[in-house]
Structure 1
Amino acid sequence: MARNPSTEIELQADNTEQGQTLLAAQQQVATLTAEHEQQVRAVAAQMGYQLPADCTDPDLIQRDIAANMRRSVEACLEVGRGLQVLKTACGYGNFQERLDTLGIDDGVARKFMRSAVRFASLGSNSALTKAIGNQAKLFEMLVLEDEEIQELELTGQTGELTLDDVATMSVKELRKALREARETVSAKERVMADITAKNNQLATELAKKPKVIVVQPIEEAKQLRQEVVATAYEVEGTLQGTLRKAFADLEQLAQQTGEDHRSFKAALVRNLEVTLMAIRSEFHLPELHPDQLPGWQNLLGLDDLAEG
């Protein structure tokens, strides 16, 4: 029995359309796969992670992480880098299953990844990573800011914490030292904020004061000197009040933590002294013996100006 020619032509047309659709779908899958692979490689390059066998397969990355799960700091950082790449490679919603397979708690995984990001700029021969020595200390060091980590690596010290402290302290001792360092920084920031706020308040109040111009030179001099005395009196009040209280707060904190803040306070006082010496030098002011110093009332009385 002969086949119908028109039916054969229709079947060939259908096969052609199906082939084109299948080819288009394959091309779309290939494009998406290539884009995903490119994204995984970008994250790996950003994190400084060497892909196993230069492959983006999540199974290979997972096995590489398992092989790196030792206790050395560099291994911990490599685990963190690998986890960051694995999170990208395995796609949304599949990362937790991979963590379960590896036996890593989600919170611990986040600490690994945060450590990798925080210490990413340090090389494999970093003095800081060698001083840290183990995973527990590494996680404790996450409380430091990026600038503090860089300072510790470059200079061997940040604040009161040194590389020797990091290397020799136990985990408990390091945790205590880092907590005290945070409290000290907060206390110093409060002191400086109080002083800055008071200085700004004084500057605002002085700016609001009207400038009275007196025709007579002597009267004008009296007015200007009274304003200068008033300004100096307010500054002395700030030092005697706000600064004394801030120093007292630091002293109370030192009694609680055992940390010595005298160098910090001495530096502040020295800055004030330098400022005063600069003013003395600029205006060629003589040094007076304590017996020669007049009180505030005498300065405001301006008897010497009237006599002159």
Structure 2
Amino acid sequence: MSKTSLKPAAPARQPVILPAAAAAIDSEQRALVAADQAVSALARQLNYQGSTDPDVLENSARDAIRRIGAGIFELGGYLLLLKEACAHGKFLPALERLGLGVDAAQRYMAVTRRFANTATSRHLDAIGMSKLVELLPLDDDQTLELAELGQTGELALDDVARMSVKELRAAVREVRAEREADQRLLEGKNKRIDQLEREKGRIALLEGDELLAQMQREAAAILADALGCVRGNLRAALQTLRDDGIKSGKLRAHEVFMAGLVGQLAAELATLREEFNLPDVSNAADQQLMAEVAQWGGQ
């Protein structure tokens, strides 16, 4: 039986690393080592003994921001209590010993009084003192909406963190203006409702001819308002359209649109006449006849 000669296996072929690639790898490794050394040196300088992993540092920074925000409310609370507890004339010297100016102390106290409750501070304590001060003009309802819903009007809590102080000031001003406009509109509606209710109650006490006269006066007042709109605003709009049509050479197109407006108004009047089965007394002779009929009926 013949012996089979065994040959040693050929060594695995090592990948060829080009000189340029090897130099790049070496340079990257040296940069990483240098960065680690720099971070370690800074950590020793700051007496920091925790992890230097970027993710850990980012989370730690986030926690620090939250603690700073909570500290704003904590300081404001201490100042509010200190002011209440100090005898007359003792609060300002206490602020001087703390190294706080009066204006700064007032801002801390105002922010804390407005925002430092469980529902609010949990959401707002991370945006910083300067922006909290800019939110002070919001009313209580708006503050509550911002804290609990994350938005009041067009102002969203997520946007507050991204805005500059100047942008936030302008946004708060706009939200306030919108709320005030809504309140004025609501107040106007409520006044009108109250007025109508009073009129309704007063009319209910009227009888016979007096009641009829009152209802006719109110209907005539409504007609006067409608005629005012037609003779004033609508006529002015038609005149503007006509002038522009003549100037631009598009009078025909404007007249078609104008006819549509007037036609819609005429259609509404025709619908009313048909609904209540009323005669057409749009010309002067018919109006005179109706007046005479009304006079005969009253005799």
TM bucket by the smaller chain?
0.3 to 0.5
Q: TM-score with structure 2 length normalisation? A: 0.47
Q: Which fold has the larger relative contact order, with Cα–Cα distance below 8 Å and residues 6 or more apart in sequence?
A: 1
Between structure 1 and structure 2, the one with the greater Rg is 2
